[in-house]
A and B are shown apart, each in its own frame.
Chain A
Amino acid sequence: MYRALWRSLPGPVVVRILILALIIAVLLIVLDQWVFPWMAATFVDEGATVGTAS
């Protein structure tokens, strides 16, 4: 999977690393903005309150 990804990137190693860093940055932003908030709302029992209002 990752081997295929690395091979599909064009250019010399330095360019590939830069492209990869860009992909990772975009991925982190997507995680921070959409995926993690959804995971928090779906899987985490926050329970700061007493009663059923949590």
Chain B
Amino acid sequence: MAENRDAAGPSGLVKTLGITGEALITIAVIIGLFVLWYAFFNPWVVGLRQEQVAAQQSRQLAQQIKSQAAHAPAPAPSAGNLATTGQKANAVPVMAEPPNIADTIGVVYIPRLGTDWRRILRESVNTELVLNSVTAGVGHYTGTAMPGGLGNFAIAAHDIGYGNSFLNLSKLRLGDKVYIQTSLGWYTYTFRNFQFVQPDAINVLDAVPTVSRNAGSDRLITLTTCYPAIFPPLERVAAYGTFVGFSTTPPAELAPTLAKDG
């Protein structure tokens, strides 16, 4: 038999070396597969799911916006239980910060990141429950302003891994829009500039980023992700934007995407 012939063949040392070599090659292949899985396969699977659940959430929010608009046709300056902040002239309804980690705030749309790109925005930047979650992807820094609020509305997402949500964040161009849909309506921000910072630069989350912790009259947005998109990511990129307006009707730019979602 073949086994008898082999038994008389290579010595014990050669056999051991052979098995060790094969084991090392196996480990190398698994690590290679892991890199491909982490950078391409898993983000693709997770990203599709995140877009799908965000579309569902968006439809649900659209219903809420519609029913609220029906109840209060004219958005009064002091609108009921909504905490209206800022000048009376352009009062923007701002929702209260949700009390719990991973509570849903709304849906984020950034057309520059893709025509189908949308993600559920949840409270906190918890890794497991928000950033890595197949049903979220984007997190709101706890303690920063809420959409439309005075000060800085700061959010974060991965660039590589778990949906690749902000992979193309550094491709934003001046004037690109960031839309936040909540149960109250649509908030529009326009992208202004980038700042590349160290990972510990929490001052990009300040009410006036890197300048002041006290909110002035500006309503700003900060989007953060890691940079560059390699490991380990030694820096962070902060994309800043300014508030443009609030509306209970969906933005025209999103009409094709929303129509596709039904």
Binding site for B on A (CB under 8 A): 1-2, 7, 31-32, 35-36, 39-40, 44-54
Contact = CB atoms under 8 A, between A and B. Distances in A.
Given A2-B22, A50-B205, A51-B200, A45 B2 contact: no
23 contacts: A1-B18, A1-B19, A1-B23, A31-B34, A32-B37, A32-B42, A36-B33, A36-B38, A40-B161, A45-B231, A46-B161, A46-B162, A47-B232, A47-B233, A47-B236, A48-B157, A48-B225, A49-B125, A49-B236, A50-B201, A50-B204, A51-B199, A53-B141
A23 B2 CA distance: 24
Nearest to B225: A48
Interface residues on B, range: 35 or more
Interface string B1-29: 01100000000000000110011000000
Interface of B: 2-3, 18-19, 22-23, 30, 33-34, 37-38, 41-42, 125, 127, 131-132, 139, 141, 156-159, 161-162, 166, 197, 199-202, 204-205, 224-226, 231-233, 236, 238
A54 B236 CA distance: 11
Contact of A46 (B19, B37, B226): B226
